[in-house]
């Protein structure tokens, strides 16, 4: 089975709100995965993580998470943990990001 | 119930002020995240998957109506309108923001509550028998002991940075409802040959990655020596517990690796030194102080309520729902004319242990009116009304029905313990709540549940075993296997005084195969039992694991190896074996199609 | 290297070169100016030397390692009445714990003293910390 190079983003939790956030362009942390800065190589990933680790004043526990990108360019987490983390509890569709309306979560294009 | 005096109040207020300052210093950079994390944990604040989570201490599971109402208020004002009652008799709020937490802690202090030491590498909130002070089999009420331990451990300056967390449970009954043998220290109240009160001290029990049943380190400890002895155990543990590997840092590993007799000798030597010291305030309580605490737990003024009454008999005869509920959810009381009511927080299809703010307020109202203003949280994630007059049972049932809390399933297959799992928890490897919901939906027929009888299913979403799966008659452990959820089943666990760690049954099941696997276990049990009174655990003990393994893995005919297929091969993964009646759970799954792997 | 006491930071006290436990036990020095010990030291080894020791500094390699608190309690229980110092990574929130366990003072490095200035330490000196203890 051939494996395409892993596509990764840096994610963390916002220090004040606890919200799931993604490191995005300009070093901003945003709640939308679709805005996350993508890295494909180990070197880029290390660079992005080093940047994230400078942000202890804003976020907690940054780490790399693998994502997939469909033909339309839309990003989706690979691992089920990250999918639940991005959306909210699977038993409570009324809570978490999923409750804010699928439109916002899904329509964003890069 | 215990009431805070000025010292308790000052202590919790100081802690709130400290935490407020710690948050400010984290934001200013004076505290690094590494430094702040253990401080916030010791104030109950975790960072979970989606948000912060605040775990509020309900000492030994006891609270009154105003406290329950305050929890409801907190749920609505600062959270999302609900709370989750845990297997450690606490409540968790899943969505607070960091900056709101000091205000929440203030609101807790207003009703004599706190979130201190509900997490972190310290002595955790002490747990006890949820029927304390009401149980018919009780030798002595464990709550004064538990309260003394709360005061001794709360803010203990020496034991705030232990190698790992430390959990203490107390029971005053021979029937152990506090799982004392699965705690770092378990205390069983008893009397010696001379009739003097004391404790059997059990050490080194625990679940998690390396489940162990606690061992007796002291057969009889005089009551007055309790704090000096515990101080000695904790000191030996603090100095010698492993700090090189967090998975080997619990006292159970120290006892296992260093041998019980060596630890006992160390503890006894330390204890002797402490007893020889001029008794200092950290390990001695004055008789006056003990009397003050014990007086708080004096039995309520029970009235001369009749044990039976025409109205009650008539209600039992006329209302089959009521009769079923009394059978499952009502327990005998030490006082004639009274009963213990267990309110199920295992509504079919709902998350085990979750309660909405409205339900909390309804429980508070009912407790105020019918249970001497008292409530308990059980480690089985239900709510107990400890002192209900037998003649009031029909009214209590009606009130619970109105609040949607009259589910009659205590001790049955749908009364499932489940940790929050991957839906909330940052440590989880798989989901637990939806598995519990699916099983409950599948076995939702009261007749079917009654036919199966007493059965404890306990589900954990990772190896840390917050869902106590090791001691479930059927334990389910959610793991990750090659990027998908995989559920291991254990059989024959027991959380009572005959504590047993369940036996691993075989390869894990995919998410969708868990309910059919449980159905096959039930089919096997019903076919194998000698009579309707023989519960699953008894059949398992009589016949061993083989027939149940055969039921779980039908293609390989269990571990006998006599079935089809080649010999010596690993049993194939079970095929999806959906039974018609299992379709019910598909409905709830449909809306989470995104997660339906 | 400030020394923190109940009255705040003291930059004056010279941190003398301290004797190591190995040197003491092999008879290779005078502990009058101070003895530095790791937090896994067996305190019974020090008992014969208590009278000659001017100061014992227990090292804290990491603030989350609480062995030093129990070691202090044991040293006091064994009869050590001299100065007792917690040295290393001790944060201001731990100051009341250190004092309650028998330490007289805390020695921190410059970087920590900059991050957690004197007022942070003074703010916690009066905390009772422990309801049972406060009640007496």
E strand residue ranges, B91-184:
91-93, 127-128, 168-171
Query: Maximum Cα–Cα distance for chain C, whole Å?
Result: 46
pLDDT band for B280, please (50, 70, 90 cuts): low
Tens-place pLDDT, residues B173-226 = 999 999 999 999 999 999 999 999 999 999 999 999 999 999 999 999 999 999
Place of tokens 């840096």: A10
Same domain, B466 and B377: no
Quote the pLDDT of residue B586.
Answer: 37
Flag if B151 and C132 touch (Cβ within 8 Å): yes
- Contacts (Cβ under 8 Å, ≥6 apart) of B361: B68, B69, B72
* Chains within contact range of chain C (3+ C-beta pairs < 8 Å): B
Confidence of residue B279 (pLDDT cuts 50, 70, 90): low
Classify B171 as helix, strand or coil.
strand
Residues of B in contact with A82 (CB under 8 A): none
Domain coordinates of chain C in residue numbers? 3-127
Which chain A residues are closer than 8 Å to B50 by Cβ? 18-20, 85, 88-89, 96-97
Q: What is the pLDDT of residue B556?
A: 57
Does B198 lie in the same domain as B66? no
What local confidence, expressed as pLDDT, does residue B189 receive? 97
Domain boundaries, chain A: 7-103
Same domain, B262 and B374: no
Q: Are B417 and B377 in contact (CB under 8 A)?
A: no
Mean pLDDT of chain A: 89
Question: Which among B380, B385, B421, B379 has a CA at the least distance from the CA of B403?
Answer: B385
Query: CATH code at B489?
Result: 3.30.413.10
3-state secondary structure of B23: helix
Residue numbers in A near B595 (CB within 8 A): 80, 83-84, 90
What is the average pLDDT across B396-425?
A: 98
Nearest chain B Cα distance for residue C101, angstroms: 6
Distance in angstroms (rounded) separating the CA atoms of residues B215 and B126: 19
Is the pLDDT assigned to residue C16 strictly greater than 70? no
Residue in C with minimal Cα distance to B120: C64
DSSP string, C14-51: --PPPEEHHHHHTT-S-GGG-EEE-TT--GGGTGGGGG
Residue at B160 is within a domain:
yes
pLDDT in the model for residue C103: 97
The pLDDT assigned to A110 comes to 30
Q: How many residues does chain C have?
A: 136
> Measured between CB atoms, does C97 come within 8 Å of chain B?
yes
Residue B117 domain-assigned (yes or no): no
Measured distance CA(B575)–CA(B566) in Å, rounded: 18
Note the pLDDT of residue B283. 63
Same domain, B209 and B161: yes
Residue pairs spanning B and C at CB distance below 8 A:
103
- Residue B351 maps to which CATH number? 3.90.480.20
> In B403-459, where does DSSP find H-type helix?
433-442, 446-452
Instruction: Please give the structure tokens belonging to residue B144.
Output: 């004064």
Is residue B208 domain-shared with residue B234, that is, in the same domain?
Answer: yes
For chain A, list the contacting chains (3+ Cβ pairs, <8 Å): B
Tell me the nearest-neighbour CA distance from A85 into chain B, angstroms. 6
Q: What's the gap between Cα C31 and its chain centre?
A: 16
Report the percent of chain C where pLDDT is more than 90.
Answer: 78
User: What pLDDT is recorded for position B558?
Assistant: 44
Determine what percent of chain A is predicted with pLDDT higher than 90: 84
pLDDT value at B346 more than 70: yes
CATH number of C3-127: 3.20.20.70
Q: Is B584 found in the same domain as B477?
A: yes
Q: Which two tokens stand for residue B422?
A: 């991957």
Which chain B residue lies closest to A88 (C-alpha atoms)? B50
Cβ(A33)–Cβ(A78) below 8 Å: no
Question: C19 and C47 in contact (C-beta within 8 Å)?
Answer: no
Look over chain B and give the mean of its residue pLDDT values, rounded to a whole number. Answer: 92
**Best residue of B8, B123, B231, B239 to probe chain C, by most C CBs closer than 10 Å:** B239
Mean pLDDT of B421-438: 98
- Asked if A56 has any chain B CB less than 8 Å from its own CB, the reply is yes
C111 touches chain B (CB under 8 A): no
Closest CB from B5, B21, B285 relative to C123:
B21
**Closest-CA residue to B364 (of B68, B38, B97, B79):** B68
| Chain B nearest CA to A54, separation (Å) | 12
Q: Are C59 and C83 in contact (CB under 8 A)?
A: no
Token output for C108: 């921190």
Q: What's the gap in Å between the CA of C112 and the closest CA on chain B?
A: 9
A20 touches chain B (CB under 8 A): yes
Judging contacts by C-beta atoms under 8 Å, the chain B residues touching residue A95 are: 80, 95
Of B50, B80, B434, the CB nearest to A85: B50
User: What band does A108 get if pLDDT is binned at 50, 70 and 90?
Assistant: very low
- Do C10 and C2 form a contact (C-beta atoms < 8 A)? yes
Smallest Cβ–Cβ distance between B7 and the set C69, C73, C131 belongs to: C131
Range of the domain at B526: 417-595
Residue B480 clears pLDDT 70, i.e. is over it: yes
Quick: pLDDT tens for B117-159.
999 999 999 999 999 999 999 999 999 999 999 999 999 999 9
The answer to whether the beta carbons of residues A74 and B581 sit under 8 Å apart is: no
B239 to chain C, closest Cα gap in Å: 5
Distance from CA of C127 to the nearest CA of B (A): 7
> Residue B336: which region, alpha, beta or left (left: phi > 0; alpha: psi -120 to 50)?
beta
Alpha carbon separation from A25 to A68, B386, B466, C122 (Å, rounded)? 19, 58, 39, 43
Using the Cβ of B35 and the Cβ atoms of chain C, whether some distance falls under 8 Å is answered with: yes
Residues of A with CB below 8 A from B97's CB?
A: 16-18
Contact B238 C120 (CB under 8 A): no
**Please, which pLDDT band fits residue B389 given cuts at 50, 70 and 90?**
very high
Show residues of chain B in contact with C135, CB under 8 Å.
Answer: 5, 7, 151, 281, 289
Decide the pairing of beta strands C3-5 and B503-504: unpaired
Which tokens hold the place of C37? 């010990």
CA-wise closest residue to B415 among B394, B390, B446: B446
Q: Cβ contacts (< 8 Å) between B39 and chain C: which residues?
A: 93
Whether chain B lies against chain C with 3 or more Cβ pairs closer than 8 A is yes
Any C CB within 8 A of B273 CB? yes
Of B26, B95, B597, the CB nearest to A80: B597
pLDDT tens sequence across B534-546: 999 999 999 999 9
Which pLDDT does position A104 carry in this prediction?
47
Q: Do B35 and C65 touch (CB under 8 A)?
A: no
Work out how many domains chain B is built from and give that number.
4
Determine the distance in angstroms separating the CA of A26 from the nearest CA of chain B, rounded to an integer.
22
Task: State the virtual CA torsion across A91, A95, A99, A102 in degrees, nearest 10.
Answer: -50
Mean pLDDT to the nearest integer, B84-88: 96
Expressed in percent and rounded to 5, the helix, strand and coil fractions of chain C are 40, 20, 40
Which element (helix H / strand E) includes B540? helix B536-543
| Mean pLDDT, residues B513-541 taken together | 98
Q: What residues 4-23 of chain C have any CB closer than 8 A to a CB of chain B? A: none
**Last residue within a domain, chosen from B296, B326, B351:** B296
Spatial CA neighbour of C130 closest among B155, B146, B118, B109: B155
Q: What is the pLDDT of residue B567?
A: 39
Strands (E) in B289-337, as ranges, are: 330-332
Q: Are strands B484-491 and B509-510 parallel, antiparallel or unpaired?
A: antiparallel
């Amino acid at each position: 089975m051939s494996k395409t190079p892993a596509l990764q983003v840096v994610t963390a939790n916002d220090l004040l709100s606890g919200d799931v956030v993604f490191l995005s362009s300009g070093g901003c942390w945003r709640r939308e995965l679709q805005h996350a800065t993508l890295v494909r190589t180990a070197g880029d990933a290390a660079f992005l993580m080093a940047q994230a680790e400078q942000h202890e004043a804003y976020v907690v526990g940054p780490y790399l998470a693998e994502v997939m990108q469909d033909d339309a360019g839309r990003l989706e987490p690979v691992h089920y943990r990250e999918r639940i983390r991005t959306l909210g509890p699977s038993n409570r569709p009324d809570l978490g990001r999923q409750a804010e309306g699928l439109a916002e979560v899904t329509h964003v294009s890069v | 119930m215990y009431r805070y005096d000025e010292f308790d109040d000052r202590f919790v207020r100081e802690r709130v002020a400290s935490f407020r300052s710690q948050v400010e210093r984290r934001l200013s950079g004076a505290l690094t995240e590494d430094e702040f994390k253990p401080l916030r944990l010791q104030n109950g604040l975790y960072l979970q998957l989606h948000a912060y989570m605040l775990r509020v201490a309900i000492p030994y599971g006891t609270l009154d109506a105003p406290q329950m109402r305050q929890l409801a208020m907190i749920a609505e004002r600062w959270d999302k309108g609900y709370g989750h009652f845990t297997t450690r008799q606490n409540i968790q709020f899943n969505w607070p923001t960091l900056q709101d937490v000091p205000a929440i802690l203030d609101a807790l202090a207003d009703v004599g509550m706190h979130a201190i030491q509900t997490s972190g590498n310290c002595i955790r909130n002490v747990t006890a028998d949820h029927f304390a002070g009401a149980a018919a089999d009780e030798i002595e009420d464990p709550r004064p002991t538990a309260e003394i331990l709360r005061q001794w451990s709360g803010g203990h300056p020496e034991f705030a940075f232990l190698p790992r967390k430390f959990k203490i449970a107390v029971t005053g009954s021979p029937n152990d409802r506090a799982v004392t043998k699965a705690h770092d220290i378990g205390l069983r109240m008893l009397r010696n040959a001379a009739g003097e009160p004391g404790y059997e001290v059990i050490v080194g029990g625990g679940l998690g990655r390396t489940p162990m049943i606690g061992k007796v380190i002291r057969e009889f400890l005089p009551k007055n020596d309790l704090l000096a002895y515990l101080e000695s155990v904790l000191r030996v543990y603090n100095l010698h517990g492993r700090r090189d590997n967090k998975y080997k840092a619990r006292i159970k590993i120290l006892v296992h690796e260093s041998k019980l007799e060596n630890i006992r000798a160390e503890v006894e030597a330390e204890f002797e030194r402490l007893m020889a010291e001029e008794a200092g305030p950290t390990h001695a309580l004055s008789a006056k102080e003990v009397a003050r605490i014990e007086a708080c737990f004096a039995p309520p003024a029970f009235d001369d309520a009749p044990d039976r009454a025409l109205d009650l008999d008539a209600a039992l005869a006329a209302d089959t729902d009521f009769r079923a509920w009394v059978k499952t959810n009502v327990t005998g009381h030490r006082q004639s004319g009274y009963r213990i009511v267990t309110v199920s927080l295992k509504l079919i299809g709902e998350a085990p242990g979750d309660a909405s703010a409205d339900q909390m307020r309804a429980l508070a109202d009912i407790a105020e009116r019918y249970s001497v203003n008292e409530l308990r949280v059980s480690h089985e994630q239900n709510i107990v009304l400890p002192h209900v007059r037998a003649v009031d049972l029909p009214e209590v049932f009606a009130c619970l029905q109105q609040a949607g809390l009259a589910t009659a399933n205590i001790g049955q297959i749908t009364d499932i313990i489940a940790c929050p799992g991957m839906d909330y928890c940052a440590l989880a490897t798989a989901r637990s709540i939806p598995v519990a919901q699916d099983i409950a939906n599948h076995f939702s027929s009261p007749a079917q549940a009654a036919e199966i009888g007493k059965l404890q299913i306990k589900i954990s979403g990772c190896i840390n075993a917050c869902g106590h799966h090791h001691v479930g008659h059927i334990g389910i452990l959610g793991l990750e296997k090659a990027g998908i959820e995989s559920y291991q089943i254990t059989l024959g666990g027991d959380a009572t005084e005959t504590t047993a760690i369940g036996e691993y049954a075989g390869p894990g099941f995919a998410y969708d195969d868990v309910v059919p696997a449980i159905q096959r276990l039930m089919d096997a049990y019903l076919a194998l039992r000698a009579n309707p009174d023989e519960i699953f655990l008894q059949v398992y003990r009589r016949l061993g694991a083989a027939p149940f393994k055969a039921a779980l893995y039908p293609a390989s005919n269990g571990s006998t190896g006599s079935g089809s297929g080649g010999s010596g091969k690993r049993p194939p993964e079970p095929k999806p074996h959906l039974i018609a009646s299992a379709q019910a759970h598909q409905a709830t799954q449909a809306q989470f199609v995104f997660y339906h792997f | 290297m400030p020394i923190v006491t109940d009255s705040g930071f003291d930059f004056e006290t010279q941190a003398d070169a301290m004797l190591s436990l190995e040197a003491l036990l092999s008879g290779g020095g005078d502990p009058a100016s101070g003895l530095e010990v790791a937090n896994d030291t067996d305190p019974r080894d020090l008992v014969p030397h208590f009278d000659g020791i001017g100061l014992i500094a227990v090292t804290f390699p990491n603030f989350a390692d609480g062995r030093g608190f129990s070691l202090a309690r044991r040293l006091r229980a064994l009869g050590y009445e001299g100065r007792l110092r917690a040295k290393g990574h001790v944060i201001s929130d731990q100051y009341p714990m250190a004092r309650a366990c028998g330490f007289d003072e805390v020695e921190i490095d410059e970087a920590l003293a900059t991050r957690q200035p004197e007022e942070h330490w003074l703010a916690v000196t009066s905390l009772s910390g422990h309801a049972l203890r406060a009640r007496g």
